[in-house]
Amino acid sequence: MEGPITEVNLGEIPLEWNGAIAFLDRDGVLNYGSPNYINSPNELVIIPGVKEAVIALRKQGYRIVVVTNQSAIMRGHWGEERIHSIHEKLQEEIGAIDVLMTCPHRNRDRCQCRKPQPGMLNHASQLIRNQAHSEPNWWGAKPKPFHELDLMVGDRNSDMGAGWAIGARLFKVDEEVGIPSVIERIILEDVGDEFNPVG
């Protein structure tokens, strides 16, 4: 399996688009995570306030993209059909998502889609905007985003690295409270959190 697993709902979701994309990690941002993976739809438990936060992003005009590392697939715990069933429940719980990207690889696979690499974010940007970002210079300045309001919400440094690589505003959250803890900052167009990709 080379690239990310992609689920697309573009055109199915009525939206006044402001031109920006909200890239959201899944576990610890939308739902409670688990050290043993979320292995079935029954194990997916949405963090309180997430549905309202996603609705608020939509009202602000964002396209919603979920980007999630799920190495359980390449580790052979379960297959691609399982991720689709989990994401079906996710959308039933919080509303339709424009694009869901899943990296099935392990660290040792050295793919370009596993965060902190920006491959999933680039692929989604290509689908939505017909534009992908150039390769990041991890030792250089933060790249300029396609839209000044682009953002990445995650609970890990790997999420922040992927967002940094495309120039997005970064919002790091505690895995127990997720995106509801930063939604007001996002709506107020906060510049986001500082992050050093090599520090």
Catalytically annotated residues: 25, 27
Q: How many Å apart are CA 186 and CA 96, to the nearest integer?
A: 20
Closest alpha carbon to 167 in 186, 138, 146? 146
CA distances from 155 to 42, 161, 171, 188, 194 (A): 22, 11, 8, 20, 14
